[in-house]
Amino acid sequence: MHKNLWLITFFTLLLFGCTAKEADTSYLKNYVDNPQITSDAKLIEPNDRQSSSKGSVELTQANFEKQEFTVGPMKLTFYDAKQIQVTPDISMIDYFHVLTTDEEFSIVKTFLSIENMGNELVQFNPAAFATTSTGEQWTWEQEAYLDELNGAYEPGQTKKGNVGFILEKKEKPKNFTLQTSDIFDAKKDIVSSGTKITLPLTD
C-alpha cells in the first residue's frame, strides 16, 4: 500500500517536472530591475502573475523565440516578446499619467541586448517608432520602460533592457514592429540606415 502510494507520488512529480515550464532568466545577468514596472521575467504561461512593491503584472501572451538582427555595427538580440497587463502600485501612478490616464493597462514589450560591434562611438535608438498589427503607433517619447537603451554606445559596449509601449485598444495584437533609428557617428553623420524589426507575440 505504502509502496504503491510512493510510486504514484514519484511518477506524478516526474510528470510535473517534465511538463512544467520554467523561465530561463540567464540573459538577465547584470540587469537591474526596472524601477517603475514589476519584472515579468518569470511569467511564462498566460495568466501567470507577479507582484512587487511597484504593483503587479500578468501575462496575456508571449513568444520566447530568440531572434538576432544586425543593423550596421549594432547587434540586437531579442529574448522574448510579450503582452502584459500592468496594475501599478498607487505610488507609481504619477509616473504613468504622462503616458495614460488608465489605472490598469496592457503593454507590448520585449527584452533585448544591444552590442556595438564597431570600432567607433555611435548614437542609436532601437525603437524610434513602433506599431502593432492592430494599427497602434508610437514614437520613442512614449516608450514606457526608459531603460536607457537610446543613446551613445562605445565600441564593444553592450546594453540590456526592456522596450515597451502602452496599448490603447483592448485587443491582442499578433505582433509589434520596432523601427530603429539610423546610426550616427560622433560627427552626427549617418553610419547605417535604420530598419524595421517585427516581433511575433505568439508562438
Average pLDDT over residues 157-173: 96
Helix (H) or strand (E) holding 8: helix 2-19
Mean of pLDDT over the chain: 90
What pTM, to 2 d.p., does this model score?
Answer: 0.87
d(CA 60, CA 168): 15
Q: What is the DSSP letter of 172?
A: -
User: Residue 152: what residue type?
Assistant: A
Residue 178: CB atoms within 10 Å? 26
Question: Would you give the distance in Å from CA 47 to the centre of its chain?
Answer: 17
CA distance 44 to 21: 7
pLDDT band at 16, cuts 50/70/90? very low
Contact of 107 with 144, CB cutoff 8 Å: yes
Look at the domain 26-37+45-200 and name its fold.
Immunoglobulin-like (2.60.40)
Which one-letter amino acid corresponds to residue 2?
A: H
